[in-house]
């Protein structure tokens, strides 16, 4: 079962961890915008660089592919805090 994320949730991110398949990550795209996505590795390109996709939780948004768009992983989400009642 996938965790559910809502506006106002707090994410704790570790920039020192290498993402594994299925990890949630914070990344910076080529427009210098931060984004929250699910990490999906796709292999290694001809230059030896890791190729990966960043998959949105909302299927209405596009997947980001590291071969087609500049993207930098800022960190891996290691903790998710939800406010249950306000």
Q: Give the mean pLDDT of 12-21.
A: 98
Per-residue pLDDT tens for 41-50?
A: 999 998 888 9
Torsion, Cα 22 38 69 33, to 10 degrees, reads -150
- Residue 27: per-residue pLDDT: 97
Q: What gap in Å lies between CA 15 and CA 75, rounded to an integer? A: 4
In this prediction the pTM is 0.88
The chain-wide mean pLDDT, for the chain, equals 92
Q: Give the mean pLDDT of 3-9.
A: 87
């Amino acid at each position: 079962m996938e965790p559910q994320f809502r506006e106002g949730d707090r994410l704790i991110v570790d920039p020192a961890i290498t993402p594994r398949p299925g990890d949630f990550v914070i990344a910076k795209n080529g427009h210098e915008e931060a984004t929250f996505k699910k990490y999906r590795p796709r292999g290694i390109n001809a230059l030896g660089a890791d190729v990966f996709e960043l998959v949105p939780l909302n299927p209405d948004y596009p997947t980001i592919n590291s071969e087609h768009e500049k993207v930098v992983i800022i960190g891996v989400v290691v903790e998710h805090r939800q406010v249950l009642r306000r």
